[in-house]
Amino acid sequence: MLTTAQIIRELRGTKINGYADGLMQGSRRDIEAVARTALGHMAQFTQNRFVEANQDIIKCVVWCATLDTRTSPPCRARDGKQYTPVEHKPIGHSFQWGGGPGGYHWRCRSHQTTVLKSNKELGIDVPDVVMKDGTRASMDGQLPADVTYSQWIKKQSAARQDEVLGATRAQMMREGKITPEQLYGSKGEYLTLDQLKSKTGGMLGSNNASMKSEELAIRAADLTEPKLSAVQREARAYVVENGRKTGHEYGVAIADGKIVDRFTSGMPNALKVPKFNGYPNGVIDLHHNHPVGDSLSAQDFATLLATPSIGSVAVHGQSGFFTQAAKVGVGMSSESAYLVAASTRSKAKALVAEARESGVISDAQSNSGLWPVVMASLLENDGLIRYTINSETVMSIARKVINHGK
């Protein structure tokens, strides 16, 4: 196999021939990158074959990034993370493999190591030899082998942290507002500063990169108790308690003051609502939860407008946020309902984007699940629903958006 230096020579040409015999004209830096990337792919290819051939004794593969200031965000995030040997499924985390170490991106310098199964796991009755002096290279010399990039960066000087993470992220890390691991979304994507700010200001344990209406209202401390009957409170308790347990959406249907159905789709962001055929028009009062903490969705409006038996749809957040839409009139065909929902959603999103660009609302406010509230107001203005929301703060931001668009 060629060394990096040999490949660079092939690509770049030789000095004695004035570089005219090179395959590629370009700066040394570019050529080096091509060579390194190609070598990385080759090493990765070879190693993948090795892993495939020996998968019976390999427990997992581990992503190894380079410990220096030029390491890319995706590789920093994945450093030390384990994956299954052949299919490269994340183990104990959710950061995707992508092209893998060495192939994830242009100039990727990461490599992979393999962790062998223990003798016990292989069914061999011999104690494992414990390696005590495992080390790994860093820009400052050898470090213990189990030091990950996240641990490494935390111990670096403020100047070096600023260089790697940028001043804002580095400052947030030093102030303990965020750990190096939290700089990434659930799939290992590097979060923007806006996403980070809403994440750190958000509720504890929330995985949502952006703050939703419920959080906005909680921070403003203006959530009011909605006017609910005893049976509606029972419905709320059912959907919220189950939602807290599983993170999924639940629904309860009330008709004539009684609970007539309870259901779930077992998903965090969707609910399949029954048609309730056989019930008179508008008699069903539907309650469900939104674990994510936003107002009624476009789908919720479409369901309300297209299902004759449903008269109102209420959404409960997990911490007291409440929005409800009551149908005005008899509704419409499902084709029309979906058309109305889709076009009103687009209009609401465009209005939010415009207001943000003009500085009428902040980035955080525009990300806060605001468009569903704006959408509700637009439908109300069109005379299709009556809308209730229990946070004056959230409502006033939505009003600003609509007034700006007029």
Binding site residues, Zn ion, CB under 5 A: 297, 300
Closest to 344 in 3D by CA, of 317, 380, 312, 311: 380
Closest to 191 in 3D by CA, of 269, 294, 74: 74
Q: How far is the CB of 188 from Zn ion (least distance, A)?
A: 29
Alpha carbon separation from 353 to 73, 329, 350, 360, 380 (Å, rounded): 28, 31, 5, 10, 21
Q: How far is the CB of 246 from Zn ion (least distance, A)?
A: 16
* 218 contacts 319 by C-beta, under 8 angstroms: yes
C-alpha dihedral (203, 206, 207, 213), degrees to nearest 10 = -60
Provide the 10 A C-beta neighbour count for residue 158: 11
Q: How far is the CB of 54 from Zn ion (least distance, A)?
A: 49
Q: How far is the CB of 373 from Zn ion (least distance, A)?
A: 13
- Residue closer to Zn ion, measured from CB, 188 or 243: 243
d(CA 154, CA 132): 24
Q: Which helix (H) or strand (E) holds 83?
A: strand 82-83
Q: Which residue is nearest to Zn ion (CB)?
A: 300
Helix 334-357 vs helix 298-306: crossing angle, to nearest 10: 150
* 375 contacts 345 by C-beta, under 8 angstroms: yes
Q: How far is the CB of 288 from Zn ion (least distance, A)?
A: 6
Q: How far is the CB of 290 from Zn ion (least distance, A)?
A: 5
- Residue closer to Zn ion, measured from CB, 78 or 290: 290
